[in-house]
Structure 1
Amino acid sequence: MENYLQVLEESLYKKLDVLDRIEKLGIRQEQILNTIPVSEDDFDSSIEEKGRLIDELGKLDEGFESLYAHIKEQLVAGKSKYRTQIAILQEKIAEVTEKSIAIQAQEARNKKLAEIFFANAKQELKKGRRSSKVALNYYRNMNKSQMVSPQFMDKKK
């Protein structure tokens, strides 16, 4: 049982480490989105890295839940015997929860920044299309007019 509790504790430490890295990536994304011009490559790579970390976090969650389900009855029965380990696990779970909430708040801020960025990019694209359309119409109109060269020649020498 001691070994199982140790594995649960290690899992929570790993989870905190992954959450720290996700939090740092969230801060990095905020910096990228606040920089003008926005580096789309940096933003994309940070999203990909965050996706990998979230997958890793999911695996850690599954392992923790599976192991906890396996030892839950024994843990409840020996609650007084494992009091210190349970207190440590509860403390780490509270830290994980706090960090998760902070990350969710960061993600909400980043979402707003990303929406602003994409709205501005869309406006720029529309403006570019409009400019291209105006230039194309001008070009077509000028070609239709087929300017006639001057008909009169000065015959003086």
Structure 2
Amino acid sequence: MQENSYIQVLIQSLHQKVEALDSIIEKNQEQYEILSAEEADMDAFEKNIDEKSQYIDKIVFLDDGFEEIYTRVKEELDGNRAAYTEEIQKMKDLISMITERSMKIQVQEQRNKELAGMQFSKARKKIRQVKAGNKAATQYYKNMQQMDAIPPQFLDKKK
């Protein structure tokens, strides 16, 4: 009976992992929208990354717990496959869903990485332009200050 409750915990853990992966997919879509904007809101981007990080931590926690419980019931599952056919099928279906979502997340992550690279490239270009503008302005003011100072001149008063 205890193995059956462990198996239910495994199934529940897989359900929670699917939900966490769905949340990451949503966060990746939000990242895409943020990065696709002409002027990306980097504060919103950073907040999104922090929120996504929490879901990733949850997945790591669920994976660790799943592994620990699975090692306890592995022999029972292998020895009595017929008794746990329905539960095993649920776990297979959930693992299939997890794999599908993981692949979708990888595609989204790659797309967002490219967009982030483009946004950071734009930001670097703007920084270079500002620096060049500041340098030109500084040079201009230096030149203008030198023009105000008229060098001493010798006047010949003899006629």
Matched, 1:54 2:56: yes
Partner of 1:81: 83
Query: Partner of 1:25: helix, strand, or coil?
Result: helix
Q: In the TM superposition, what is the alpha-carbon distance from 1:83 to its structure 2 partner?
A: 1.1
Partner of 2:92: 90
TM-score between the two structures when normalised by the length of structure 2: 0.90
CA distance in 2, matches of 1:95, 1:89: 10
Listed as ranges, the gaps of 5+ residues in structure 1 are 149-157
CA distance in 2, matches of 1:70, 1:111: 39
CA distance in 1, matches of 2:123, 2:131: 12
CA distance in 1, matches of 2:15, 2:47: 26
Partner of 2:70: 68
Structure 1 runs, 4 residues or longer, greater than 3 Å off: none
Partner of 1:109: 111
Query: For each residue in 1:48-90, what CA deviation from the matched residue of structure 2 results, as whole angstroms up to 9, or x when unmatched?
Result: 0001110011001100111111111111111121111101101
Partner of 1:42: 44
Number of equivalences: 148
Q: Kindly, what percent of the aligned residue pairs are identical?
A: 35
Listed as ranges, the gaps of 5+ residues in structure 2 are 151-159
TM-score between the two structures when normalised by the length of structure 1: 0.91
- Alpha carbon RMSD of aligned pairs, Å? 0.9
